[in-house]
Amino acid sequence: MRTLLLTAAIALAATGAHAQTEIRVHYAIPTIWADTQEALAEAFMAANPDIEVVFDGPAESYAEGVQRLLRESVAGTLPDVAYLGLNRWRILEARGLTQPLDPFIGDASAFAAAGFTPALRSLGQYRGQQHALATSASSLVMYVNPELVERAGGSMEDFPTTFDGVIELAARIDALGDTVDGIWVDRHDWRFQSLLGSHGGRPMTPDESDIAFDDEAGIAAATLYRRFADEAGMKSYIDDQARQAFPAGTLGIMLESSSLLTRFTQAAGDRFDVTVKPLPVAAEDPGAVYFPTGGSAIVMLTDDPDKQQAVWEYVQFVTGPEGAQIVVENTGYAPTNALVLEDEAYLGAFYADNPNALVAHTQVARYAGPWYAYPGAEGVAVTDLIAAALVEVTEGADPEATIGDLADTLRSRLGMN
């Protein structure tokens, strides 16, 4: 069994107390989550001294984490509870690895009154059962360097609200010199879904029987990648390079997850004031717009009755208002418990001091939708095909033809033909 690299435990010995139940927790993306997970565990254990939280070594990504968990399920070494991407938990559900939470939730109305609204619960439901609860939410926003905007002749007060305007401004920023880049967005399924949703499109039909993005909205979303490259000089960065370039002050506009706000603000330091702007809405009907909810969900994996109650106590805490407050204040993710938004006692002062976070979280509240998880055993693999197609478009391939071919390939891989 892999060595447990991190034990998030407070000094119970100081009080003479000893944990009666130990629960193993899996999570991913330590660059975002390591400190926050420790803070959550410390707060939980302070309130529940009979339960000890022990972390497995974190996975570098949600995709890697799912593959690790699948291997551990074969080996019989699954942890008791796991944090997964909101589009990944169904992979485990499809293999019968998640434990339904409905028996623990009990009265649905009382659960809703505790901040778990039907909309938030829907992010972890499948076929009428609750398999997961959201622990964080994010949407694609625009991170902007105001100094580069001003140097390019723009202004933050009159910042463009359309993709055409953003591209025109990014081109002027890119023209400032060889050491400055105008705009960047990752070639990635979630980013593509966000641009698709801005145009009113959807990845799949409502019954998940067919691919739906090979329409006008999907072609328009893919065409943005081509325009970013052709008109605004977007470079073929990988995400880590772009995430270093923006806070370093060499990238003017970055379309990226709202969850990275704290990281970018700290990394930019005194170089410039990181500013968040909402993603443009391109659809004529705002009611058709949706921005896929990125972020994470938590699932119960243990089938040990003696551990399940302890895991449920932990799940309730990290998804409750106190846990949501810790997540928001430490990551930039939007809260997934309604009480945190309704009661200013939790985050009122935080939003007053962090208007960038309020912009991002308001966008989540207004346009949040599901992060579509492609069904079946090939669900993860097809996201790599989407990313590869977006690379081709960025490098010069015809958007309409590429999207059409991609949709047909996905139909074949997912058994829809």
Residue closest to 358 by CA, chosen among 296, 278, 293: 278
> 300 CB contacts (<8 Å, ≥6 apart)?
80, 81, 98, 99, 101, 308, 311, 312, 315
Question: Does residue 13 register a pLDDT over 60?
Answer: no
Per-residue model confidence (pLDDT) at position 11: 40
By CB neighbour count within 10 A (0-12 exposed, 13-18 middle, 19+ buried), where does 405 fall?
middle
The answer to whether the CB of 78 falls within 8 A of the CB of 107 is no
Which residue is listed with tokens 């690790």? 68
Per DSSP, 294 falls in state E
Q: What tens digit of pLDDT does each residue of 210-230 get?
A: 999 999 999 999 999 999 999
Q: Compare 9 and 133 and report the one with higher pLDDT.
A: 133
Q: What is the side-by-side strand order in the sheet with 275-278?
A: 181-185, 251-257, 140-144, 275-278
Q: What is the side-by-side strand order in the sheet with 133-138?
A: 51-55, 21-26, 81-85, 294-300, 133-138
Per-residue model confidence (pLDDT) at position 123: 87
By CB neighbour count within 10 A (0-12 exposed, 13-18 middle, 19+ buried), where does 49 fall?
middle
Per-residue model confidence (pLDDT) at position 6: 42
Assign 286 to helix, strand or coil: helix
3-state DSSP: the chain helix, strand, coil percent, rounded to 5? Answer: 50, 15, 35
Across 296-319, average pLDDT = 97
Domains and CATH numbers, the chain: 12-138+293-369 (3.40.190.10), 140-292+374-413 (3.40.190.10)
Dihedral sign (CA 82, 102, 376, 1): positive
Helices 62-75 & 379-394 angle (0-180, nearest 10): 160
Question: Does residue 376 register a pLDDT over 60?
Answer: yes
Residue closest to 85 by CA, chosen among 106, 67, 68, 63: 63
Q: What tens digit of pLDDT does each residue of 327-339 get?
A: 998 887 899 998 9
Of all residues in the chain, the percent with pLDDT exceeding 70 is 95
Question: Does residue 276 register a pLDDT over 70?
Answer: yes
Q: What tens digit of pLDDT does each residue of 39-54 get?
A: 999 999 999 999 999 9
Q: What tens digit of pLDDT does each residue of 148-205 get?
A: 999 999 999 999 999 999 999 999 999 999 999 999 999 999 999 999 999 999 999 9
Per-residue model confidence (pLDDT) at position 18: 53
Per-residue model confidence (pLDDT) at position 1: 40
Per-residue model confidence (pLDDT) at position 408: 97
Which residue is listed with tokens 């660059």? 31
The answer to whether the CB of 97 falls within 8 A of the CB of 73 is yes
Residue closest to 259 by CA, chosen among 200, 195, 335: 335
Under the banding of pLDDT at 50, 70 and 90, the label for residue 365 is: confident
Alpha carbon 199 to its chain centroid, in Å, reads 20
Question: Does residue 14 register a pLDDT over 50?
Answer: no
Cα 167 from Cα 338, distance rounded (Å): 35
The strand ranges marked E within 170-310 are 181-185, 251-257, 275-278, 291-292, 294-300
| Radius of gyration in angstroms for the set of CA atoms belonging to the chain, rounded to a whole number | 22
Across 307-336, average pLDDT = 94
**CA dist 347 → 47, 92, 119, 194, 198 (Å):** 21, 33, 21, 26, 28
Amino acid at 315: V
Per-residue model confidence (pLDDT) at position 380: 78
Cα 191 from Cα 256, distance rounded (Å): 8
129-130 and 125-126 strand pairing: antiparallel
Per DSSP, 169 falls in state H
417 HSE (CA, 13 A, CB side): 7
Q: How many CB atoms lie within 10 A of CB 76?
A: 7
Cα 15 from Cα 401, distance rounded (Å): 67
Cα 417 from Cα 110, distance rounded (Å): 44
Question: Does residue 17 register a pLDDT over 60?
Answer: no
Q: Compare 343 and 146 and report the one with higher pLDDT.
A: 146
